[in-house]
């Protein structure tokens, strides 16, 4: 009994201590925000993005200092709550209308959490980097009104979440990839005013959510696919000003369609009567084609709409010979038929008048009961529509606004609908909005000048500061909900009259605000709290450690599973090995979680991979994975020693590789001795053998999926060991909402720069995807370059040099002299591995065989030195680790039997 209460006593003390510590730690971290920094990968990417831009107006000068998210870099918007990985991430990049020139850096592809990318209205040149397609969370991409050239990369077919795709008014050329039809969320597809050519893919009709399609003003040829009339939600289809031929699709278009424009093409045949009775059709333009035959007047007679909408039928300049059906024109319908043979018929000339000026819509005036014309308002003030009875002067916010692809062609009929749409979107009263002017522009686009007036509360004449900021944020942050009818919008300007200049100015220049003061005070307190917490921690650390183990053991609901050759570690053992997962023991970080260096009880040095919250998986899956990994043994693969599955933690324990990653040795920055060509070749051969084993000997075969230089580790003898295989299913890519997809197998995993373009596109994983990534590693070995750096893709770069006979200009000169014919053969092999076309790549077995051939071609002196160099004790060799993993007796034998050239490479083609 005494024992029990004594135990209880200890337990409860531990609980209290834990609770107190927890509270203190939470306080200190949340106030100090020590970890409130942007993901370093994204910071590097942003710097590279800036580097490739010219910024004549110095909009981006504040990108030179501080942290992108916490120092408010211009145009960078972040998620201000931390993600699972503890970092802040870039949510939006808004660099519109900034007079930027230069090119789009492929590093944009690293802002993987980004949802909105706005670069419209600049002078950007160059092509669209395929890396943009690596942005799985992108909702909106706008690069319109630039001078971008080149084709649309096929990788864009991966933009699974993209709703708004605006690339109009550039010089984009080439065939539009039919693969884009896989985009499930696409709503607005704007590619007008480019140099696109080739055919219109019929597959586009498969996009389930398309509302607005603008492909006008390009060089498309061939015919309009019949399938386009099946797009069920379509509001607007503009294919005008191309070189389309053939006939008009006979099918019936969407019931909601408002605009069909096929004008200025080379269409032939007759006009299908199916255009009749479409209830919302406002514009049907087939002008300037070679359409012939008889037109059925039912197209405009059979309207079933509310009759208040106008309907313009424009069939000018065709070969139409007659009109069938009744000829009296309904209200609000305009029919234009001049320039057709039928105009010689006296009875039809009513349709053949010359086109009246396309007048801009007049606005419905605001009704006023009192005449305020006598009232003179001070500058920047005008009579507010919110209080016309008393002729109140108030200061409006002035907004230049443009509907980029309105789903209507007559604004008058939509004005009141637009007013309520916009004011409710902005949370304003209907009478706070005055549309000062509207003007149709080329496109057609609708430009407006809006005035927003303060709410009539106590006859206030100005908005208060927070309201100004809120409204501006609604426009600049695209927070006004999308409207199907009004389509995408853009902000032209948001002008603050002198009245508001101070209001906004004070926010950015007033130095220390109250909020900041509070922050500083709290921060100071927090520092004190943390310091005392650290002292407290140190005192209690030893005592706590003992008790923790007891409590952890008791809380554990561990199912112990015996897997031959793999040890089952407790949480306590792992904590002990890493000094309680001390930061100083951290040696790396990956998608899966952190990697620690640890020393086990028996002195074995190990690498411990600890899954972070969010990449944990079900126990069954975890053990399946371990079971699989336990059966994989090869001298060129990093061995699994054990695992830990306790306390809601999942860890994998590997042999430790003291020489680090291949990447470390290739980077010039690291003060590592450069690798000779012979050593590089040997590393290439070793890695290839490891991967060949995974493909052909492991059962089931394992595709690595994430081969890269930082996943190739070097043992004390500089023998390459491939790491992280089989972890594919352990590291699902979390999406923005933090949820992890249920079927990871369909998620493209991998690292930009190493990704097989074909896998990327098809999501079909093959052994050739690994061949591609390995080819990239080979190119790194040869050139020392990163796969993507300074906006350049290694495959492209090396290919260009190779084609132009300049290959030796890109070879890493840090590896000293080398036999040029061997280097040349190696380059050739590497480039072959990186072919876009899967079938053109060699198999893994062929790669190994070719590398062996190159090895045999090497002058003996070179290979000898390598051998002696790497076995010479004390120089490059670290103290031997005692970590010889328990070999599994039923594992198939190491296929690379002898040291380097085995001669027993299996000739089986990989599955
Ligand atoms: C940066 O912007 C955020 C969000 O708009 C704001 O809360 C913060 O105070 C700003 N920080 C600075 C240093 O201006
Ligand atoms: C797009 O390009 C066309 C043709 O060059 C031009 O008429 C139109 O004004 C441009 N639109 C925008 C919004 O820049
Ligand atoms: C349409 O144009 C394409 C390509 O310009 C051509 O191959 C085809 O024969 C044309 N079809 C018709 C019906 O004129
Ligand atoms: C047509 O528009 C209405 C109103 O916006 C909508 O409820 C309906 O679902 C649309 N029809 C189709 C086929 O999308
Ligand atoms: C299309 O028609 C125009 C005008 O009739 C003609 O100049 C042009 O050659 C035609 N283009 C094609 C591809 O048929
Ligand atoms: C047009 O409406 C009339 C009368 O409702 C109907 O008889 C005729 O079939 C309709 N024509 C078409 C092409 O829908
Ligand atoms: C439609 O016609 C009626 C009668 O002429 C007219 O009053 C109304 O303004 C027209 N509607 C539009 C949108 O033009
Ligand atoms: C803002 O845009 C509107 C509409 O394009 C234009 O009329 C106005 O002059 C612009 N104002 C400024 C200050 O650029």
Show which residues are catalytic: 706
Q: In this structure, is residue 596 part of a structural domain?
A: yes
CATH number of domain containing 823? 1.10.510.10
CATH number of domain containing 574? 3.30.200.20
CA of 249 to the centre of ligand 6 (A): 20
Q: In this structure, is residue 215 part of a structural domain?
A: no
Residue 548 confidence (pLDDT) above 60: no
Query: Which residues are bridge partners to 651 per DSSP?
Result: 610, 644
Residue 109 backbone class (left: φ over 0; alpha: ψ -120 to 50; beta: rest): alpha
Give the mean pLDDT of 480-497: 83
Residue 639 confidence (pLDDT) above 80: yes
> pLDDT digit string (tens) for 374-400?
777 888 888 888 776 677 788 999 999
Whether residues 648 and 778 share a domain: the answer is: no
Q: In this structure, is residue 632 part of a structural domain?
A: yes
Q: Choose the weakest-confidence range: 131-135, 461-465, 503-507.
A: 503-507
CA of 99 to the centre of ligand 2 (A): 17
Secondary element (H or E) of residue 770: helix 767-783
Give the mean pLDDT of 333-351: 86
Give the mean pLDDT of 255-262: 91
For the chain, the maximum distance between any two Cα atoms, rounded to a whole number of angstroms, is 116
> pLDDT digit string (tens) for 99-113?
999 999 999 999 999
Mean pLDDT of the residues in the chain: 77
Token pair of 422 as six digits: 């916009």
Whether residues 687 and 816 share a domain: the answer is: yes
Q: In this structure, is residue 165 part of a structural domain?
A: no
| CA atoms in the 13 A half-sphere facing the CB of 811 | 25
CA of 232 to the centre of ligand 6 (A): 22
User: Please, what is the angle between helix 498-509 and helix 465-476, to 10°?
Assistant: 90
> pLDDT digit string (tens) for 811-827?
988 888 888 899 999 99
d(CA 311, CA 152): 36
Whether residues 642 and 678 share a domain: the answer is: no
Whether residues 591 and 484 share a domain: the answer is: no
Residue 852 CB contacts under 8 Å (≥ 6 apart), including other chains: 685, 900, 901, 902, 905
Query: Which residues are bridge partners to 79 per DSSP?
Result: 89
pLDDT of residue 823: 92
**Range 477-480 contact pairs with CB under 8 angstroms and sequence separation of 24 or more:** 477/77, 477/92, 478/116, 478/140, 480/422, 480/425, 480/426
Whether residues 640 and 693 share a domain: the answer is: no
Whether residues 723 and 788 share a domain: the answer is: yes
Ligand 6 residue neighbourhood (C-beta within 6 Å): 273, 276-277, 298, 302
Whether residues 719 and 649 share a domain: the answer is: no
Q: In this structure, is residue 184 part of a structural domain?
A: no
Q: In this structure, is residue 590 part of a structural domain?
A: yes
Secondary element (H or E) of residue 5: helix 2-32
Residue 28 confidence (pLDDT) above 70: no
- The protein residue whose alpha carbon is closest to atom 6 in ligand 2 is 442
Domain of residue 612, residue span: 565-656
Residue 575 confidence (pLDDT) above 70: yes
pLDDT of residue 368: 54
CA of 457 to the centre of ligand 1 (A): 30
Q: In this structure, is residue 713 part of a structural domain?
A: yes
| CA atoms in the 13 A half-sphere facing the CB of 303 | 24
Residue 141 confidence (pLDDT) above 90: yes
Least distant ligand from the CA of 491: 8
Residue 380 backbone class (left: φ over 0; alpha: ψ -120 to 50; beta: rest): left
CB of 266 within 6 A of ligand 5: the answer is yes
Token pair of 326 as six digits: 């009744």
- Reported in sequence order, the residue ranges of 202-307 that DSSP labels E, i.e. its strands, are 212-214, 219-223, 236-238, 243-245, 259-261, 283-285, 292-296
* For the ranges 276-290, 608-622, 882-896, the one whose mean pLDDT is highest: 276-290
- The protein residue whose alpha carbon is closest to atom 2 in ligand 3 is 222
Whether residues 593 and 469 share a domain: the answer is: no
Q: Choose the weakest-confidence range: 451-460, 486-495, 889-898.
A: 889-898
d(CA 397, CA 497): 7
CB of 413 within 6 A of ligand 7: the answer is yes
Whether residues 644 and 690 share a domain: the answer is: no
Least distant ligand from the CA of 330: 7
Whether residues 688 and 826 share a domain: the answer is: yes
Give the mean pLDDT of 131-144: 92
pLDDT of residue 49: 96
DSSP designation for 252: P
Q: In this structure, is residue 42 part of a structural domain?
A: no
Query: Which residues are bridge partners to 218 per DSSP?
Result: none
Token pair 């990239």 in the structure block, residue: 776
Whether residues 671 and 642 share a domain: the answer is: no
pLDDT of residue 530: 43
Domains contained in the chain, number: 3
d(CA 126, CA 142): 16
- The protein residue whose alpha carbon is closest to atom 4 in ligand 3 is 222
CATH number of domain containing 452? 3.30.70.150
* Annotated binding residue 501: no
CB of 243 within 6 A of ligand 5: the answer is yes
Atom of ligand 5 nearest to the CA of 221: 13
Whether residues 628 and 745 share a domain: the answer is: no
């Amino acid at each position: 009994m005494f024992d029990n209460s004594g135990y209880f006593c200890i337990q409860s003390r531990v609980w209290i201590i834990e609770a107190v510590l927890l509270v203190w730690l939470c306080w200190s971290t949340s106030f100090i925000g020590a970890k409130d920094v942007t993901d370093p990968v994204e910071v590097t990417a942003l710097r590279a993005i800036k580097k490739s831009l010219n910024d004549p107006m110095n909009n981006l000068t504040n990108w030179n200092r501080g942290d992108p998210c916490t120092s408010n870099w211009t145009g960078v918007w972040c998620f201000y709550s931390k993600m699972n990985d503890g970092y802040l991430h870039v949510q939006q990049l808004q660099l519109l209308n900034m007079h930027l020139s230069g090119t789009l850096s492929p590093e944009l592809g690293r802002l993987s959490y980004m949802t909105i990318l706005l670069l419209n209205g600049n002078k950007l040149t160059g092509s669209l980097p395929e890396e943009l397609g690596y942005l799985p969370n992108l909702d909106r991409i706008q690069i319109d009104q630039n001078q971008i050239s080149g084709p649309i990369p096929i990788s864009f077919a991966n933009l699974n979440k993209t709703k708004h795709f605006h690339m109009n008014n550039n010089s984009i050329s080439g065939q539009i990839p039919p693969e884009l039809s896989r985009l499930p969320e696409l709503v607005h597809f704007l590619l007008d005013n480019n140099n696109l050519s080739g055919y219109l893919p019929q597959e586009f009709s498969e996009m389930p959510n398309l509302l607005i399609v603008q492909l006008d003003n390009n060089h498309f040829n061939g015919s309009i696919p019949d399938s386009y009339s099946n797009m069920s939600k379509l509001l607007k289809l503009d294919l005008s000003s191309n070189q389309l031929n053939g006939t008009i699709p006979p099918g019936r278009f969407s019931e909601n369609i408002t605009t069909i424009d096929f004008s200025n093409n080379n269409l032939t045949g007759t006009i299908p009567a199916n255009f009749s009775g479409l209830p919302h059709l406002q514009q049907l333009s087939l002008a300037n084609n070679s359409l012939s035959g008889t037109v059925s007047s039912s197209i405009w007679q059979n309207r079933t709409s509310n009759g208040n909408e106008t309907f313009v039928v424009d069939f000018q300049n065709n070969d139409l010979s007659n009109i069938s059906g009744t000829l009296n024109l309904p209200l609000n319908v305009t029919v234009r038929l001049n320039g057709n043979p039928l105009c010689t018929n006296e009875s039809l000339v009513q349709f053949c008048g010359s086109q009246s000026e396309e007048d801009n819509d007049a606005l419905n005036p605001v009704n006023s009961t009192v005449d305020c014309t006598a009232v003179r308002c001070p500058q920047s003030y005008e009579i507010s529509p919110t209080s016309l009875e008393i002729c109140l002067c108030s200061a409006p916010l002035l907004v230049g606004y443009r509907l980029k692809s309105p789903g209507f062609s007559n604004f008058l009929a939509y004005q009141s609908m637009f007013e309520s749409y916009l004011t409710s979107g902005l949370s304003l009263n209907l009478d706070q909005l005055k549309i000062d002017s509207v003007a149709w522009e080329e496109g057609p686009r609708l430009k407006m000048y809006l005035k927003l007036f303060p709410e009539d509360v106590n006859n206030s004449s100005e908005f208060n500061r927070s309201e100004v900021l809120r409204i501006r944020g609604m426009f600049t942050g695209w927070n006004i909900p999308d409207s199907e009818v009004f389509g995408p919008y853009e902000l032209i300007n948001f002008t603050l009259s002198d009245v508001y200049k101070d209001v906004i100015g004070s926010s950015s220049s007033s130095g220390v605000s109250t909020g900041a003061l509070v922050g500083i005070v709290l921060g100071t307190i927090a520092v004190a709290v943390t310091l005392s917490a650290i002292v407290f921690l140190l005192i209690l650390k030893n005592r706590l450690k003992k008790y923790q183990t007891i409590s952890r053991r008791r809380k554990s609901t561990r199912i112990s599973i015996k897997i031959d050759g793999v040890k089952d570690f407790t949480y306590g053992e792992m904590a002990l090995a890493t000094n309680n997962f001390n930061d100083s023991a951290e040696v790396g970080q990956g998608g899966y979680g952190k990697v620690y260096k640890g020393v086990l009880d028996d002195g074995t040095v190990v690498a411990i991979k600890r899954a972070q919250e969010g990449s944990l998986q079900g126990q069954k899956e975890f053990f399946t994975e371990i079971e699989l990994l336990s059966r994989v043994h090869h001298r060129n693969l990093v061995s699994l020693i054990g695992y830990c599955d306790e306390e809601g933690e999942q860890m994998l324990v590997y042999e430790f590789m003291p020489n680090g990653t291949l990447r470390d040795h290739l980077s010039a920055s690291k003060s590592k001795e450069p690798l000779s060509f012979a050593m590089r070749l040997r590393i290439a051969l070793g890695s290839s053998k490891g991967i060949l084993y995974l493909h052909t000997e492991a059962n089931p075969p394992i595709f690595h999926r994430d081969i890269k230089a930082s996943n190739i580790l070097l043992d004390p003898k500089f023998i390459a060991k491939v790491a992280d295989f089989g972890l594919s299913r352990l590291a699902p890519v979390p999406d923005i909402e933090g949820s992890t997809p249920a079927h990871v197998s369909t998620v493209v995993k991998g690292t930009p720069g190493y990704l097989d373009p074909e896998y990327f596109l098809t999501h079909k994983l093959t052994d050739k995807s690994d061949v591609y990534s390995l080819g990239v590693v080979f190119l790194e070995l040869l050139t020392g370059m990163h796969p993507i750096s300074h906006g350049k893709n290694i495959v492209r770069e090396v290919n260009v040099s190779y084609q132009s006979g300049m290959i030796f200009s890109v070879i890493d000169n840090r590896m000293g002299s080398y036999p040029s014919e061997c280097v040349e053969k190696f380059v050739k092999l590497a480039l072959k591995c990186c072919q876009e076309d899967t079938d053109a790549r060699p198999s893994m077995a062929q790669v190994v065989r070719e590398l062996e051939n190159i090895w045999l071609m090497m002058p003996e002196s070179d290979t000898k030195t390598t051998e002696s160099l790497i076995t010479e004790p004390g120089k490059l060799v670290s103290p031997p680790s005692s970590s010889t993993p328990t070999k599994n007796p039923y594992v198939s034998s190491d296929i690379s039997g002898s040291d380097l050239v085995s001669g027993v490479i299996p000739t089986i083609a990989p599955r």
